[in-house]
Amino acid sequence: MLLADDLALDAPDGRPLFSGLHLSLEPGANLLVLGPGGCGKSQLLRALAGTLPPRSGRVRVGGVDLWPGEGALALAGRVRLGFVFAQGGLLSNQTLRDNVTLPLRFGGMSAGEAVGRAERALSRFGLGAVAGFRPHAVSAGARKLASYARVAALEPDLVILDDPLEGVESGDRAEVLDLIQAWAADPARTLVLALEDPGPFAGLPARRLHLAPGGLSPSDPEQP
Ligand X SMILES: Nc1ncnc2c1ncn2[C@@H]1O[C@H](COP(=O)(O)OP(=O)(O)OP(=O)(O)O)[C@@H](O)[C@H]1O
Range list of β-strands (E), 52-154: 56-61, 64-67, 81-84
How far is 196 from 218, CA to CA, in rounded Å? 17
Told to check if 197 binds ligand X by CB under 6 A, we report no
* CB nearer to ligand X: pick between 38 and 132: 38
What count of other Cβ atoms lies within 10 Å of the Cβ of residue 28?
Answer: 15
* CB nearer to ligand X: pick between 23 and 115: 23
* CB nearer to ligand X: pick between 40 and 54: 40
From residue 18 to residue 57, the character string flagging contacts with ligand X as x (rule: CB under 6 A) and all else as - is -----------------x-xxxxxxx--------------
Told to check if 196 binds ligand X by CB under 6 A, we report yes
From residue 86 to residue 125, the character string flagging contacts with ligand X as x (rule: CB under 6 A) and all else as - is ----------------------------------------
> How many residues touch ligand X (CB under 6 A)?
13
C-beta of residue 209 within 8 angstroms of C-beta of residue 10:
no
> Taking Cα atoms as reference points, which of 9, 7, 34, 11 lies closest to residue 206?
34
N- to C-terminal Cα separation, the chain: 20
Residues that bind ligand X (CB under 6 A): 11-13, 17, 35, 37-43, 196
